[in-house]
């Protein structure tokens, strides 16, 4: 683990709003600049479906960056957390576009992207977009926590009752009722259609960087075999997977956060060894 000298002052965290266009919703962000120019790759947090940039794992990532003197960027997608925009108007493709735009605008040099749940899918779409633009070297590595790749079509749609699927198809939206995990929210036809258009599993997935996956085997939302499908699709890039036998979907216990730090340190080593 990297330690800093006591006399080094912590880099102040910056906050603001970012917009991808004049009529686009403003996206709330929190960024910690690196303490020195030769710091390790920056960290970029990509949150999950209906989560925000102030959750346990995101806060841990920022604390780690502060301790190690490296950059860290967190933000909320539109319709999430402190960002503007209506959740019902957004799609996977839109959130991926926002991630790409804010990544380019607010980070410099190689980054380690940490994607949780839906953020894992967004991270892979980000990698594809960067590679297509000749910017694959911007990714030093990727940590995917319970990656919910293709979750709209592969995980949610098959579990919806037939009557609910008909409602979404005919009316364009269905309000998922509140439960023990939180308040209700809309599931739109556009979310599923766009999710299908941005699906990745079943084909070859490239990241052009090392990937470390953390997956709980007691995860009720993203089965561990779903993560194994992703590993099989990453055949051309270095990929490791850590299965946590008693881990749930959140993977935010102290031991889970330690595993996250170890994954980042592994990717640091891989980046340092790269010629």
Domain boundaries, the chain: 14-32+40-149+203-273
219 among known catalytic residues: yes
Give the residues of the chain that fall short of pLDDT 50: 1-7
Catalytic residue among 76, 78, 116, 249: 249
- Predicted pLDDT at 8: 52
- Predicted pLDDT at 39: 74
pTM score: 0.94
At a CB cut-off of 8 Å and minimum separation 6, what does 57 contact?
45, 114, 116, 145, 250, 251, 252, 257, 260
At a CB cut-off of 8 Å and minimum separation 6, what does 223 contact?
none
At 15-55, the pLDDT tens digits run 999 999 999 999 999 999 998 776 799 999 999 999 999 99
- Predicted pLDDT at 2: 42
- Alpha-carbon span 188 to 98, nearest angstrom: 19
19 among known catalytic residues: no
Catalytic residue among 78, 83, 116, 117: 117
- Predicted pLDDT at 267: 97
Catalytic residue among 62, 150, 194, 219: 219
Architecture of domain 14-32+40-149+203-273: 3-Layer(aba) Sandwich (3.40)
């Amino acid at each position: 683990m990297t330690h800093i000298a006591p006399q080094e002052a912590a880099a102040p965290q910056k906050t603001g709003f970012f917009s991808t266009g004049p009529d686009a919703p403003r996206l709330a962000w929190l960024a910690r600049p690196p303490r020195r120019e030769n710091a390790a790759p920056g960290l970029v947090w990509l949150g999950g479906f209906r989560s925000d940039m102030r959750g346990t794992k995101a806060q841990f990532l920022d604390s780690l960056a502060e301790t190690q003197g490296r950059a860290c960027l967190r933000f909320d997608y539109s319709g999430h957390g402190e960002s503007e925009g209506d959740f019902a108007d957004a799609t996977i493709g839109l959130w991926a576009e926002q991630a790409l735009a804010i990544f380019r605008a607010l980070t410099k040099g190689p980054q380690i992207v940490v994607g949780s749940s839906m953020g894992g899918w967004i991270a892979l779409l980000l990698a594809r977009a960067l590679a297509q633009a000749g910017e694959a070297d911007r990714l030093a590595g990727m940590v995917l926590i319970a990656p919910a790749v293709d979750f709209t079509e592969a995980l949610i749609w098959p579990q919806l009752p037939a009557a609910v699927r008909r409602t979404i198809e005919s009316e364009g939206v269905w309000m998922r009722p509140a439960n023990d995990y939180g308040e209700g929210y809309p599931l739109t036809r556009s979310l599923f259609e766009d999710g299908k258009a941005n699906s990745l599993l079943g084909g070859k997935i490239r990241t052009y960087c090392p990937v470390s996956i953390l997956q709980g085997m007691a995860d009720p939302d993203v089965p561990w075999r779903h993560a194994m499908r992703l590993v099989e699709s990453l055949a051309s890039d270095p990929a490791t997977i850590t299965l946590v036998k008693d881990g749930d979907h959140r993977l935010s216990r102290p031991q889970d956060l330690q595993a996250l730090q170890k994954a980042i340190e592994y990717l640091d080593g891989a980046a340092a060894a790269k010629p």
